[in-house]
Chains A and B, each alone.
Chain A
Amino acid sequence: MAGLFSKLKEKLTKTDQKQQKSKLKETLTKTRESFVSKVKQLVTVHKKIDEELYEELEDILLQADVGVAATCRLMDEIRQDVKKRKISDAADLRNLLQGKMKELLGEDVSLQTDFPPPTVILVVGVNGVGKTTTIGKLAYRMRQEGKSVLMVAADTYRAAAIEQLEIWSERADTEIIKHMPGSDPAAVVFDAIQAAKKRDIDVVIIDTAGRLHTKVNLMEELKKVRRVITRELPDAPHEVLLVIDAATGQNAMRQAELFKEATDITGIALTKLDGTAKGGIVFAISEELGIPVKLVGTGEGIDDLDDFDSDEFVSALFADDEEDEYDEYGEEDEGEGDDE
C-alpha cells in the first residue's frame, strides 16, 4: 500500500500526536475486541468449514447491524467462493469475508475542505445523533490545521441548541453566526455565507436542527437551506455530512435514502463508536447508495474525531488481538488527509 512510507515517516515525526492516537486505539478497540475475538474464536474452534461455522459468522454480521439483506448476500457469495475455490480451512474463510466487506465499503474518500474559500460543510441528521458535537470536533480540527472557521447555528428550533454550539465555538476558537431561537434557518445561513465571503473565512460549518427523515415539511426546510447556500455560492455546499449514530439499526438506511434525496449528501459521519455498537449498517448504505463514511466519532472529547478508513476499519474488525494491528490503524488514520 502506498501509505506505508508516509506512515513510517509520520511515526518518526508526529510523536506528539501519539497520545491522541492511542486514545482512538483504545476506544476503537472496544468495538473491535468483541467482534475480533469472536471471529478468532470461531476460526480456532472450527478448523474446518461446516454449516455451524457459516451460521455463527452470519450471526456475528447480523449482530453488528449489517442487516439481513447484506448479510445474506455476503454469506451466499462466500459459500459460492468456498465451493469454487475449494477452500477448506476455516482461517481462509475469515480473509474471504474480510475482502468482501472491504469491497462493500468501496474506495475511501476523505472530507474535502480545500476548495477556494469558503468551503461550506452542511451537517444534517435525525435528532440526537451528535451533529453539534461532531461540528465542534470538526471545527477544532480545522482550526488545528490553521484554517479560519465560521460555525452557523441553523438549528433554531431545539431548546438551547444555539447555546450548545456557542460553547463549542469557544472551545474550538471559531467565529459563529446566530439568530434568535425560532428564526428561519435559511436566513441564518444566508447571513453566514455573506459574512464568510466578507471575512475571508476558510471553512463554514452549518449546524442544522435534528429532524426525522419522514417529516416532509422539515425536509423541505432543509432543501431550502441548501438552495440558499447554492444561490449565494454556486459550488456550495461542498460537503453535506449525514451524521449517523453507530447504534442505529436498519432505519439508518432510510435516513440515508431520504436525506440523500433532500440534500444530496456527500458523506457520513459515524458517531458514538466508543460504545459496543458496531455501526454495521454503513456496509449496506455504502453498497446501495454509494455514500462513503468520511468521519468517525469516538468519544466526547474535542479531539475524538477521525477520518474513516475502510481498509483499516475492516482489517481491524477481523484482526487478531496483536498490538501492531491497532497501531497501524491509528497511524493510518492521521495519514489520510496528507495523502490525498
Chain B
Amino acid sequence: MFEGLAEKLQGTFKKLRGKGKLTEKDINDALREVRFALLEADVSLPVVKEFINSIRERSMGAEVLESITPAQQVIKIVNEELTALMGDKRSDVVFNSSGVTVFLIVGLQGGGKTTTAGKLALHYKKQGKHPLLVAADIYRPAAVQQLEVLAKQIDVPFFALEGETPVTIATEAVEHSLSHGQDLVIIDTAGRLHVDEELMEELQEMKDAVAPQEIFLIVDSMIGQDAVNIAKTFHEELGLTGVILTKLDGDTRGGAALSVRKVTGCPIKFVGSGEKLDALDPFYPDRMSARILGMGDVLSLIEKAQANVDQEKAKELERKLRTQEFTLDDFLDQIKQVRSMGPLEELLGMIPGLGGAKQLRKIQDEVDEKDFVYLEAIINSMTLEERNNPNIIKSSRRKRIALGSGRSVQDVNKLLKSFEQSRKLFKQLSEMGTGKGSRKLKSMKFPFM
C-alpha cells in the first residue's frame, strides 16, 4: 500500500535531478508527499495542515535548497519537528505525595481500557506500590469479571460493588483503599462515545468525586481521522492529564498519536504493545515519529535484541567465531535466540524500509517461520559428533539425518552449505573486527543469512 516516505521523497527529488537549483515549487511538491505520508499514517487532516505549514519555512531554507541530498534534508526536518511536537521527553506520572493516588481510565469502547488498567497495576506493583483495581464499568457485559480475572492473574486486590452507580463505586473504592493500605486506586470506567453526553457527564461526576491525580485517555493506535474529535471532546469535558496508546504491536503507523498529542497537549505516557499484562512500555517520541513516517523502529529492535540475547553466550559465541570453533550446536543456539526475540514478522517490521506492506510480505514469504523449525529439526537429528564436526557428514549420514528430521536430503545439503558459508563470513568479519560496539552487533547477526 504505502512505501516509506523516504522512498517517495527520493523519487520526487530524483525527477528534478539535473535541473540545477531547487525551487519553491519543488519543495512544495516534496511537502505534498509529506502531507500524503502523514495522512496515510492516519494523522488527522487539520493537524497535518498545521504541521506542513510549520515546516514549510524551514524547508525553504538553505539547508534543503542547497543540499545535494534534499530528500534526506526534508526527512530530517520532518522527523525533528515531528519528534519535538510529540513531546521532547516522556513526562512522568503524578503521584500524591501523601495518601492515595487515583488514576481514572477513560476512553471509547474497545480501546483496551480494562487490559491497560491491569497493566498499570502490575507496572506499579513491581515498583512497590499497592494498587487497587476498581471495576466501574457497569454497562458492558462481563466487564467486571474481566477486570477481576486480570486482578487475580497479577495478584492485586480488586474492588467492585453490585448495583451501585460508577460514582458511588469510585468513591467507595477510595474509602476502601484508605482503610486497607492501598496507595494507588486505578478506576476502570465503561467505554463510551465522546458524543454520549449523559455518559460524559457521569465521568465528570466521577472526577469531582474522587479528584484523580491522573486521567488517562486510552487511545487505540489504529484509530483514524476521528482521533481529533475524540481527544478534543474528552479533553474539554474532563481535562486529561495523559494519553496511553494501545495495540502498537500491530502494523499501524499510529498517526493518531500525533493528532491526540496535538489536540490535547497531553503527553503520551505509556504505550501498550501486546495482550500480556507486562506489555506496557514507555513512550519514545523519536521512535513514534519514525514509525509514523514509515522509517521503521530500529531502536526498539536493537533494544529487543539486547534484552533477549544472553550476554554470556554471546561472548562465548564471539570467541568461537574468531577461533573457528563455531559448531552446528552454536548455530542452533543462534536460531533459538533469534526466535526468542518474538515472531519474525514483528522483528522484520521494525527494520527500516521493510515497513511497507509489499516488501515485508515478500520477505515473510521467503523467510517462513517454519524454516526455523525445520532447521532445528535437522540439527536435532544429527549426532553430537556430527554437530561438532560437520565435515564428516557424507551422503549416508545425510540420508539418515533427512529421514530423522522428516526433511529432504536437499534441505540437509542446503543447511550444511549455508552453515559453511556463514562460518567463512564470520571468519572474515572477525578478521576485520574493530571496536567493542561493532563486535556486539556482530554476534547478534543471523549466522545463516
- On whether the beta carbons of A214 and B345 are closer than 8 Å, the reply is yes
Across the interface, name the chain B residue whose C-beta is closest to A212.
B250
Determine the distance from Cα of A62 to Cα of B142 in the docked complex, in whole angstroms.
37
- On whether the beta carbons of A213 and B250 are closer than 8 Å, the reply is yes
Shortest CB-to-CB span from B396 to chain A, Å, is: 36
Q: Choose from A128, A212, A247 the contact partner of B249 (Cβ within 8 Å).
A: A212
- On whether the beta carbons of A63 and B44 are closer than 8 Å, the reply is yes
Q: How many A-B contacts are there with CB distance less than 8 Å?
A: 155
Interface size of A by CB at 8 A reads 50
Taking the complex as formed, is A188 at the interface, i.e. its CB lies under 8 A from any CB of chain B? no
Taking the complex as formed, is B225 at the interface, i.e. its CB lies under 8 A from any CB of chain A? yes
Across the interface, name the chain A residue whose C-beta is closest to B36.
A68
Chain B residues within 8 Å of A128, by CB: 109-112, 220, 247
Determine the distance from Cα of A254 to Cα of B230 in the docked complex, in whole angstroms.
23
Instruction: Tell me the residues in window 297-312 of chain B with beta carbons closer than 8 Å to chain A beta carbons.
Output: none
Interface size class of B (residues with CB under 8 A): 35 or more
Chain A residues within 8 Å of B108, by CB: 247, 272, 275
Shortest CB-to-CB span from A287 to chain B, Å, is: 13
Taking the complex as formed, is A168 at the interface, i.e. its CB lies under 8 A from any CB of chain B? yes
Shortest CB-to-CB span from B34 to chain A, Å, is: 12
Q: Choose from B44, B110, B230, B343 the contact partner of A130 (Cβ within 8 Å).
A: B110
- On whether the beta carbons of A250 and B42 are closer than 8 Å, the reply is yes
Chain B residues within 8 Å of A65, by CB: 42, 224-226
- On whether the beta carbons of A127 and B112 are closer than 8 Å, the reply is yes
Taking the complex as formed, is A277 at the interface, i.e. its CB lies under 8 A from any CB of chain B? yes
Shortest CB-to-CB span from B230 to chain A, Å, is: 7
- On whether the beta carbons of B142 and A163 are closer than 8 Å, the reply is yes
- On whether the beta carbons of A127 and B349 are closer than 8 Å, the reply is no
Taking the complex as formed, is A59 at the interface, i.e. its CB lies under 8 A from any CB of chain B? yes
Instruction: Tell me the residues in window 135-171 of chain B with beta carbons closer than 8 Å to chain A beta carbons.
Output: 139-143, 145-150, 153
Instruction: Tell me the residues in window 116-144 of chain A with beta carbons closer than 8 Å to chain B beta carbons.
Output: 126-130, 132, 136
- On whether the beta carbons of A300 and B139 are closer than 8 Å, the reply is yes
Chain A residues within 8 Å of B275, by CB: 127, 157-158
Shortest CB-to-CB span from B109 to chain A, Å, is: 7
- On whether the beta carbons of A250 and B40 are closer than 8 Å, the reply is yes
Taking the complex as formed, is B403 at the interface, i.e. its CB lies under 8 A from any CB of chain A? no
- On whether the beta carbons of A214 and B346 are closer than 8 Å, the reply is yes
- On whether the beta carbons of A167 and B224 are closer than 8 Å, the reply is no
Instruction: Tell me the residues in window 144-195 of chain A with beta carbons closer than 8 Å to chain B beta carbons.
Output: 157-161, 163-164, 166-168
Across the interface, name the chain B residue whose C-beta is closest to A72.
B36
Determine the distance from Cα of A130 to Cα of B193 in the docked complex, in whole angstroms.
13
- On whether the beta carbons of B225 and A160 are closer than 8 Å, the reply is no
Across the interface, name the chain B residue whose C-beta is closest to A130.
B110
Determine the distance from Cα of A179 to Cα of B150 in the docked complex, in whole angstroms.
19
- On whether the beta carbons of B250 and A251 are closer than 8 Å, the reply is yes
Chain A residues within 8 Å of B369, by CB: 216
- On whether the beta carbons of B195 and A217 are closer than 8 Å, the reply is no
Shortest CB-to-CB span from A10 to chain B, Å, is: 30
Chain A residues within 8 Å of B140, by CB: 164
- On whether the beta carbons of B146 and A164 are closer than 8 Å, the reply is yes
Taking the complex as formed, is B56 at the interface, i.e. its CB lies under 8 A from any CB of chain A? no
- On whether the beta carbons of B195 and A160 are closer than 8 Å, the reply is no
- On whether the beta carbons of A62 and B110 are closer than 8 Å, the reply is no
Chain A residues within 8 Å of B112, by CB: 127-128
Q: Choose from B40, B42, B143, B349 the contact partner of A214 (Cβ within 8 Å).
A: B349
- On whether the beta carbons of B36 and A160 are closer than 8 Å, the reply is no
- On whether the beta carbons of A247 and B1 are closer than 8 Å, the reply is no
Shortest CB-to-CB span from B278 to chain A, Å, is: 15
Per-position binary interface string of chain B over residues 179-206, scored 1 when its CB falls under 8 Å from any chain A CB and 0 otherwise: 0000000000000011100000000000
Q: If A249-B224, A274-B193, A275-B195 touch, does A127 touch B36 (CB 8 Å cutoff)?
A: no
Q: Choose from B39, B111, B253 the contact partner of A62 (Cβ within 8 Å).
A: B39
Determine the distance from Cα of A245 to Cα of B109 in the docked complex, in whole angstroms.
10
Taking the complex as formed, is B223 at the interface, i.e. its CB lies under 8 A from any CB of chain A? yes
Give the one of A68, A157, A166 with max B CB within 10 A.
A68
Shortest CB-to-CB span from A330 to chain B, Å, is: 20
Give the one of B110, B147, B195 with max A CB within 10 A.
B110
Across the interface, name the chain A residue whose C-beta is closest to B343.
A216
Chain B residues within 8 Å of A250, by CB: 1-2, 40-42, 224, 253
Across the interface, name the chain B residue whose C-beta is closest to A69.
B1
Per-position binary interface string of chain A over residues 52-80, scored 1 when its CB falls under 8 Å from any chain B CB and 0 otherwise: 00000001001111011100000000000
Instruction: Tell me the residues in window 210-240 of chain B with beta carbons closer than 8 Å to chain A beta carbons.
Output: 220, 222-226, 229-230
Q: If A126-B250, A127-B247, A159-B146 touch, does A251 touch B141 (CB 8 Å cutoff)?
A: no
Across the interface, name the chain B residue whose C-beta is closest to A58.
B45
Chain B residues within 8 Å of A251, by CB: 42, 222, 250-253
Determine the distance from Cα of A216 to Cα of B110 in the docked complex, in whole angstroms.
22
Across the interface, name the chain B residue whose C-beta is closest to A170.
B141
Shortest CB-to-CB span from B192 to chain A, Å, is: 9
Instruction: Tell me the residues in window 239-269 of chain B with beta carbons closer than 8 Å to chain A beta carbons.
Output: 247, 249-253, 255-256
- On whether the beta carbons of B42 and A249 are closer than 8 Å, the reply is yes
15 contacts between A and B (CB under 8 A): A63-B44, A65-B42, A68-B36, A128-B247, A130-B110, A136-B141, A163-B145, A214-B249, A214-B251, A215-B343, A216-B369, A251-B42, A252-B222, A272-B110, A276-B194
Known: A68-B39, A159-B149. 18 other contacts (CB 8 A): A62-B39, A62-B45, A62-B225, A63-B45, A67-B40, A127-B110, A158-B146, A159-B145, A160-B146, A164-B142, A164-B145, A213-B251, A214-B249, A251-B222, A252-B222, A272-B108, A276-B230, A300-B109
